[in-house]
Structure 1
């Protein structure tokens, strides 16, 4: 039953025994849809709220660029290690070469990115997300669903 509900929300097709591909009903987006009862309706209401959308926007504005930057840095390291072994073998100081410095830079980047993510979450999202959580819990208690 839950799978069918997910398919209906996604606009899935039911090929049925004849394979005709009848389209399952889709939810209405004209504002005239009936509200869902209980907690499900509350969670959808919260998800559509401007406060929730702002938390998501802040999350995405940090995570997507940070992820792309880290992946680019990692791929540059891997490509350089395979395509330019002479460059990577070049000594920097004593027995330490460019490949070792870049490899340690990967670890350093991971720690810096983790710190930056935690700081961003603490300063930009945690308070708003906590307020949404408390509001949602209060609404579900009021609906008798908690």
Structure 2
């Protein structure tokens, strides 16, 4: 029995096209792998910060200006924390990824967060960076640098 094209749309469906990452990154399997790596790095960063007594206030906070990976409290200071995760052997070390433009954007994001959460704290605001390097084998290396910007 032959089928006329279009009579049974369920047999004529195309695979959905890969959708672009809303953040402008790669789409498809590569984009999923990068997001999973980034999420893994953020989870490790939260664990490291918590182990040092830093309290986590917010994760992946977004506004029109962009996203803050982690907002935390260290004593009476608010900490805006950027997390950069790379596989070992990548072109650039994660700590080299925060340049002047990114630092300025983090300062603007910190201002937005503070406006929506009661203003500046008595201890001020600090911008930290957590770099995570994930080797092919063995434990990841997590490095926390305070006051990068």
Bigger RCO (CA 8 Å, 6+ sep) = 1
- TM normalised by structure 1 equals 0.26
Q: Where is the strand percentage greater, Structure 1 or Structure 2?
A: 2
